[in-house]
């Protein structure tokens, strides 16, 4: 019979940070783009589309990556990528307004 190992829970200190990043990315960012930056619904949808596409394309591999690197490395890498993407999105929107 194969041995079953328990999966350790996420560190409590990183969970609120990940939740806050998801809240900003999925809820507050579209509102910001439309109200404060004057983007249309189509522009906002197109700005959000790459994140959805990456999620769809990368869905099959997280289990393998989690087993290889663990939760901490995945959390740090994901939050870093989200920060860079938000910065690039802001720069793109400012350049489009100029």
Higher pLDDT, 43 or 5: 43
Residue 3: the pLDDT is 59
Residue (of 89, 66, 90) closest to 5 by Cα position: 66
Note every long-range contact of 86-90, with CB atoms under 8 Å and residues 24 or more positions apart, other chains counting: 86/24, 86/25, 86/29, 89/29, 89/47
CB 34 within 8 A of CB 44: yes
Which helix H or strand E contains 74, and what residues bound it?
A: helix 71-97
Q: What is the pLDDT of residues 8-36, one digit of tens each?
A: 555 555 667 777 877 888 888 899 999 99
C-alpha gyration radius of the chain: 17
Q: What is the pLDDT of residues 46-78, one digit of tens each?
A: 999 998 888 888 887 878 888 898 888 888 888
């Amino acid at each position: 019979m194969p041995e079953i190992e328990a999966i350790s829970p996420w560190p409590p200190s990183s969970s609120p940070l990940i939740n806050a990043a998801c809240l900003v990315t999925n809820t507050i960012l579209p509102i910001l783009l439309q109200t404060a930056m004057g983007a249309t619904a189509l522009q906002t949808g197109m700005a959000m589309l790459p994140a959805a596409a990456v999620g769809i394309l990368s869905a099959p591999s997280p289990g393998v990556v989690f087993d290889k690197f663990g939760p901490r490395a995945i959390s740090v890498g994901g939050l870093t990528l989200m920060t860079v993407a938000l910065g690039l999105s802001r720069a793109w929107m400012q350049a489009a307004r100029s």
